[in-house]
Amino acid sequence: MLVRFRSGAGDITMFGDVALKLIKMMGHSGTLPSAMLAKDIPAALERLTSAVAAAPGQPAPGPGPGPGNKKVDEDPAVSLQQRAFPLIELLGRCVENECDLLWDQQR
């Protein structure tokens, strides 16, 4: 599943599991589809940035490739901070432009 965030300040699409986690970190129920009014976005942005900052960082690297270890062609782990960055940027632009934010499941 993918979740698309839309506003007058721009659009982004994220993987559903990560998007729902971030939506809940903003203080929302995680309902799809849903929206947030421009007046509520500054507080949501503050909650999200605080929660992401408190989350564990990049997973520690494991042993190198080899028998019984991570495959050579396997993608590296991506931290929550990295995954949240586009949404944090979009929320910041919504605050600057006083835009509402909508999100729904993309098909």
pLDDT digits (tens, 9 = 90+) for 26-47: 999 989 999 999 999 999 999 9
Helix, strand, coil % in the chain, rounded to nearest 5: 40, 20, 40
- What letter does residue 65 receive in the DSSP assignment? S
Does residue 4 register a pLDDT over 60? yes
Tokens of 43: 């507080």
The reported pTM is: 0.82
pLDDT of residue 106: 87
